[in-house]
Structure 1
């Protein structure tokens, strides 16, 4: 009984609430054999949220929680999500949204112990449409039933798996940090006496805006070209044609998400092409949430790499006809940088193959706790084929918070032969670092590979602050993480060193691609680590029996 009561702590309850924004009606009931039926009223939670008062009913659970857990729970109950009912409706009626809500419905059952999918979806929409807005307490009030049954036994398994996943992540991040520090102790370079790669270069640049029409796929691609303006006084030995870097954004984003990086690289002598993917950019999501377009399609897993290939083809044509571009770009020196879905994009362009066997294993059914797999499983809808997505013109790639564990898997990632840098955020819950960056790093066969881990960084730490026009997916402040400025400086410095090393063969730039430099520029709390080697055996030893990729239990018939 003591162990049972421990599990009833509000830390567990807040975990369940965090994972599922709407819990239920007047009472939340759960049965935990052999101890019997338990319940908690929505009213007691509402009083606690609004007034901070713990009544006698809630006191039974609150006494098992720490003050920090209680504070976190109250903050969660008070949190209002500024999301329109149209947005909620569009998402929960999409294939991706339905998959997410159905998974929640396995844990949050109806009174008759059925999957709570329809009730949860209705509560989400009704809550978002009400004057109070979308919040946990309002969801409790809008749930279309007198009570909700929490599948407590399976819920505990999920919570235990999440706890184990968190411990596994902490142990592996600690291993990488230890390796970085250990290798730093042997460093001989005084970086204080070296050029600061975080600072802008000396080159001015101009931006050329293009709209490229791919009639064969009915896609119009906005592209901004950042071109350095060479002058003898400013450039020294930097002259056109300039090496080219292509930047691919993530889901519901646009070509401004990495504007700070495009400007930085251009100032150091790189031509930068920043494109938008019309099937998954911010504009598409705005239309989708307004009911004017369908959800992103599985075809995006093909179209995104094909977008980049088309842009490169068009730039080569424009090099012959456009006076602003003629002779300015070196098409023998091309690198690619992508974030999240854009990380997958550049890895596919680098040779990563869609892994239908792995997708079948992970998606039929999808039982993982990895949020990104919901998106990756959309690729399972594609006809099985060996799609020609690689572009041999691309000589090096940098993938920031990429998603690849299922859509590429080990068999797909192991096909990438070009120099690769993977960047992970330790607190990324949308592209979890162990599954999406750390294990994939061990699958890369090229010795010119780098794993960058930013401690306490989230999925959003590397992208620029959103504008009013592209902020289509409101993100709660708690998910944004610490001040992003240090992360921007890391991305600028490391991308510059990586590209100069592997596109321009500058040996002096390789000096920066070592753990000592990561330690030199690291700023707390976004502590920076960088390693070049890591084996599955080292990971296994660090995990000490923990499961790095736990799954949720299958629902009982």
Structure 2
């Protein structure tokens, strides 16, 4: 019979709680699991052993054996039910995907961290054993459940170091608390600014959720950059109008850049909507970090979800696309005179948002990367796993800015270390940063709220989608990996509507030079647009000092900044 080993606290009332925390920490980071017979929980010098058979009997049949009884008696029925669900919850993932993921640098970092908590019975770091257990469980008919992973653990016992586990849990609690304070501060400031427009004034504004008056002609072009030996496609959405005056005017160009694992279909909904308002939209596909790259990773044809040189290639893709559109607008009958490639806006999500900010003028900051990535094993910011891969690049002053880009929207950007304060300081065009308060991939505080305070140009916006996740604004795509609704978050259709409205207003005002759209870019209008379960907040100003005051106070502080509406 195999077993698991824990260190437990002296206070008996905490035993069950700590057991739950250790299991939650384990299942939340990755999953531990030849067939371990016992689980040993250790806290300092205290230890307690539970057989895996006892955990199985409890999870599947509710039977409480003697070795488990002290834990079960110390927690309430709700916590008991949660523990049983955790033990049996199945992670739906293909065995090949698990095997290939472990070949990536990101997996190595996660395994090292988890191995500090989940160890062999002798106390050795359990990274390699965890990896073997996960692969074995993935190939088992029962699949990856916590119980099955424990059975597959290649040792007679699994030791969980609660001292280290609780330290990680405390670290995570502080991160969550700080993030909640920051989001609350932005929400409160936005509330103080909802005074400049009356509901009657807002009611007179046209509804930007509805399509505009232009029809759309979609064309797909193939691009080949011989200098970089790189081929990719782009979908071009041309606005068509019955009005001859409108038709004869060259339309400003909006470029959309997708995130890792997505493709040019992900934001087709947004491209069509923007084109219906008279904007020409180009949605390109980045071959080194798209859905196909993720599929290649799962079948062993790729080593990473995105190679480090994608930090350079992505902005260069957009530059090459704009050069090609400029050529087509002069030589091709379909595009001649219809594209204003000197008046360009860029919108991107996640890695695409990095791309947008780089084109807007942000510089890769190797000093920031070296400092932050030295502590990669202790961070809860998963986006650093990708950002730190840029350290593989030669330390060079890359010229990624494109001066044709006059405004940018960055949705869920990764920016804290790849750019840092000094890198973002170089942006001098209008920028809007969109954050989701429930984003666990690129957390709002380090990746969007703090970087917003580093932007110096006064024409900046911070839009918070409360309860929004990293995936809330993504549209459907047949090529992308499907995500469970619990990961996507509530009502993604509403989040997409928000992006339609904000995207039209922002680019019509800053790119198409239509001053009447400024009325949509105010805290008052955004609050009126806001709906549950994804309420919105918009601010135009937040300083580093104001943010730090909010984080230092025991409860969210009321921040009042000059109204720049």
Q: TM-score range by the shorter chain?
A: over 0.9
* 1:552 alignment counterpart: none
Shift of residue 59 of structure 1? 4.2
Q: Quick one: which of 479, 488, 491 aligns to 1:483?
A: 491
SS state at 1:211 partner: strand
Determine helix, strand or coil for the equivalent of 2:346.
Answer: strand
* 1:149 matched residue in structure 2: 159
Q: Secondary structure at the match of 1:8?
A: helix
TM-score, length basis structure 2: 0.91
Match among 322, 335, 339 for residue 325 of structure 1: 335
What is the distance in 2 between the residues matched to 1:261 and 1:230? 19
For the 8 Å contact 1:77–1:137, the answer to whether it is kept is yes
Aligned residue number for residue 177 of structure 1:
187
Q: What is the DSSP-based 3-state SS (H/G/I as helix, E as strand, rest coil) of the residue aligned with 2:193?
A: helix
**Number of residue pairs aligned between Structure 1 and Structure 2:** 542
Higher mean alpha-carbon deviation, 273-282 vs 150-159, is at 150-159
Structure 1 residues 64 and 246, CA, compared in 2 at 3 Å: closer, same or farther? farther
Task: Work out the CA distance in 1 between the residues paired with 2:402 and 2:41.
Answer: 54
User: What CA deviation, in whole Å up to 9, does each residue of 1:214-272 have, x standing for no partner?
Assistant: 12212111100011112118xx7575311111011111110011111111101111111
Distance 2:179 2:79 in 1: 21
Alignment of 1:4-403 (within 5 A): 4-5=14-15, 8=18, 10-11=20-21, 13-23=23-33, 25-34=36-45, 36-188=46-198, 190-232=201-243, 237=246, 239-295=248-304, 296-366=306-376, 367-403=378-414
Flag structure 1 segments of 5+ consecutive residues without an equivalent: 549-557
> 1:319-374: CA deviations, max 9, x gaps?
22222111111112100011111111111111111111111111234132111101
How much has 1:517 moved relative to structure 2? 1.2
Aligned residue in 2 for 1:527: 535
CA distance in 2, matches of 1:417, 1:252: 30
* DSSP 3-state at the match of 2:116: helix
Question: How far apart are residue 64 of structure 1 and its match?
Answer: 4.4
Change (3 A) 1:62 1:433: farther
Q: Secondary structure at the match of 2:177?
A: helix
Paired with 1:243 and 1:69, the residues of 2 have a C-alpha distance of: 56
Measured on the aligned residues, the alpha-carbon RMSD in Å equals: 2.2
Question: Relative to structure 1, is the Cα distance of residues 459 and 218 closer, same or farther in structure 2, using a 3 angstrom cutoff?
Answer: same
- Which has the larger displacement, 145-154 or 354-363? 145-154
- Tell me how far 1:66 sits from its aligned partner: 4.9
- Quick check: 1:507 aligned with 2:526? no
Contact 1:9 1:65 in 2 (8 A): no
Equivalent-residue separation in structure 1 for 2:61 and 2:485 (angstroms): 23
Give 5+ residue unaligned stretches, structure 2: 1-9, 557-565
The match for 2:6 is: none
1:415 equivalent in alignment to 2:423: no
Whole-angstrom CA distance in 1 between matches of 2:116 and 2:554? 25
Change (3 A) 1:76 1:7: closer
